[in-house]
Chains A and B, each alone.
Chain A
Amino acid sequence: MEREITLPVAQDLVRELRVGDVLYLTGRFFTARDEAHHLMLERKAKGEEIPFDPSQMALFHCGPVVKEEGTGRPREISPPGAIPWGWRVIAAGPTTSARMEMFEDRFLSAFGVKIIIGKGGMGERTQRALEAHGAVYTHYTGGAGALAAKAIEQVEDVFWLDELGMPEAVWIFRVKSFGPLLVTMDSTGGSLYTELAKTIAKNMVKIRERMKD
C-alpha cells in the first residue's frame, strides 16, 4: 500500500504500517550516524538538552554531501540581491544501518523516533525495539544520493558540525514527498529480511548441490 505521510506522524498510523508498504514522507528528517547516536545518547544520559525534538522527525541514517552557499553568515540577513547564506544538499542517500544496531534500541527508547530510514536492514535488537515503541524501519535505495537530494527542500539546521565533521554531524532537512521508502521492518515483528532469509536458505541448498556437480 502506498501512503503519503506528513511528519510528525501519529502513533496509531505507524502501528498500522506493514512490511511492503511504500511511504512518501513530508516534513523534517534529522540525520544521525554512529557518532551522532553515541553523542546524543551520552548527552541524554547526562541530562543535557538536545537542541531539537527528534520525536517530531524521521531518523535518517545518512552522511550527506552539503555545500555552503551564498553570502553572509548563519542566521544573518544577507545584502540585497545576494544569495542568502545557506547549506545546499548535493547528495544524501542512506548509509548502512547495521552500524547503528548497537545504539538503536536505546535511541528509540530515549528519543521517541517513529520512522527510521536507512539501507541494508537492522538486527534483532532493533526489531524488538520497533515492536516495543511502535516504530518502523524503512529502506531507501542505497547509493542513490543524487536522487534523494532532489526531495530535500531545505537544510534547516546543523548540529555538532565542528565536533563530528560533515558526514557524522546531525543535519535537519525539510523534505517533500521523500520516497519511495519501503517498510522492511514493522512494529508487529514483521521483517522482509527474516522472510527473505528463509528463501535464501532454501536457495543455498540448491547452490551447494550445484557446486558438487
Chain B
Amino acid sequence: MIDRQLKDALMQAVKQAATILPSDVVDALKRAEAKERSDLAKGQLSAILKNCEIARTGALPICQDTGIQTFFVEAGMSSPYLAKLRVIGAFIAEATAEATVAIPLRPNTVDPFTGKNPGDNLGRFMPYINWELVDGDEIMITLLPKGGGSENMSALMMLTPGVGMEGLKEAVVDHVVACGGKPCPPTIVGLGIGGGADIALKLAKRALLRDVGSRHPEPVVASLEGEILELLNMSGLGPMGIGGVTTALAVHVEYAFRHPAALPLGIVLQCWADRRAKVRITADGRVEVI
C-alpha cells in the first residue's frame, strides 16, 4: 500500500518541482520586480513571473533545462519505515524515468565518454541520491532539480585562514559578480564554509534547500548572509546580468568547523528557477507531497 503511495508521491513531486515555482521564490521575485528601477531589469523579472504563471497553469516545465534530478533523503532513525529505504532508491529512479515521458522533462543525462544520452534521465549515479540518517521518526525526501547553467558556476576555494571573514566575503562577491548573467540571476547563493573540500561544497548545495529569505538560526551566520546579499546587490549586475539592483534573491550559509590550516569555501549558485519539492513519510504511514 505505502509502496504505491510512495511511488505516486515521488512522481507528483518531480512534476510539481518542474512546473510550479515554490511560493517563497515567487514572492521574492515579485519583491525584486517592484524594487527594480530600470525598464530593462523590470522587464526581465516580469517575463520570469509571466513564464512561471504559464508553466503553473499549463502544467509545463518552468525552464527547458529541467535539470539533473537530485534527491536528498533524510531518514529519521526512529521511523518505522526505515526498511523502505531499500525501495525508495528504486522508486526515485522509476519516478524520474516515468516523469521524463509524462511531463515531459528534457533528457539530461549524458555518458561522459561516449556523449550518448539514454533519453530517460537515468545513468550511472543518476538521479543522484544523497542519503542521510537524522534524528526523528519521519523520512523526508527533498528534490532539487538543478540546471546546468547555474551548476557550471559552482566553485571551491581553499582560502588561507588569515584572510578571515572579510576575505571570504570578498571571494564570494568577486566570484558571483564574475559569473555575470551565466547562472541566470537573480540567483540564490549557497555557501558552505569549513569542513573540508567535499564538505564545503556539499553544505553549499544543501543550503539551497532552505526557503528563500529564511535566515540561519545562528545570529552571526544570519548577519553574514544579510551582509553578503546587500554587497552583491550593490554590484549593479542585476537580473540576467544586464544591469539592475537584484543580483541575488538570497544568500544561504551552512557551516562546519574547519581544520586550523584551512578555510574551505564552497559556492553553489541556484538560478532564479529555484525548483524544489518534498515528500514526507510520517511515523503513522502518511505520504505527503509538500
Contacts and interface: CB of A to CB of B under 8 A. Distances in A.
A192 B44 CA distance: 15
Interface stretch (B105-113, B190-198, B212-220): B105-113
Nearest to B238: A196
Which interface residue of A64, A119, A145 has the most chain B CB atoms within 10 A?
A145
B51 A147 contact: yes
B78 interface: no
Interface string A120-144: 1100000000000000000101111
Interface string A29-67: 000000100000000000000000000000000111101
B173 A207 contact: yes
A67 B119 contact: no
B64 A91 contact: yes
Nearest to A35: B115
A121 B51 contact: no
B100 to A, nearest CB: 10
Contacts of A203: 234-236
A212 interface: yes
A182 interface: yes
A146 B51 contact: yes
Given A141-B44, A200-B237, A65 B64 contact: yes
Interface residues of B, number: 53
B54 interface: yes
B235 A207 contact: yes
Nearest to A168: B117
B240 A145 contact: no
B61 A200 contact: no
B62 A165 contact: no
Contacts of B170: 208, 211
Nearest to A94: B64
B35 interface: no
Interface in A160-213: 164-168, 180, 182, 184, 192-193, 196, 199-200, 203-204, 206-208, 210-212
A210 B236 CA distance: 15
B105 A141 contact: no
A102 interface: no
Given A119-B240, A120-B181, A121-B180, A143 B272 contact: yes
Contacts of B240: 119-120, 139, 141-142
Contact of A141 (B48, B55, B61, B148): B48
Contacts of A193: 180, 241
Contacts of A92: 64
B290 interface: no
B206 interface: no
Contacts of B65: 63, 93, 95, 143, 145
Given A120-B182, A207-B235, A144 B51 contact: yes
B184 A142 contact: yes
A27 to B, nearest CB: 21
B241 A145 contact: no
B106 A63 contact: yes
A155 interface: no
Interface in B181-240: 181-182, 184, 231, 234-237, 240
Interface string A84-113: 000000111101101000000000000000
B166 A147 contact: no
A192 B43 CA distance: 16
Nearest to A143: B63
Which interface residue of A63, A91, A139 has the most chain B CB atoms within 10 A?
A91
Interface in B36-61: 40, 43-44, 47-48, 50-52, 54-55, 58, 60-61
A90 B235 contact: no
Interface string A13-27: 000000000000000
A120 B63 contact: no
A199 B110 contact: no
B32 interface: no
B263 interface: no
8 contacts: A90-B64, A91-B60, A91-B62, A120-B180, A142-B184, A147-B54, A203-B235, A207-B234
Given A145-B51, A204-B177, 12 more contacts: A63-B106, A64-B106, A91-B60, A91-B63, A91-B66, A120-B184, A145-B63, A148-B51, A167-B108, A192-B242, A200-B235, A211-B173
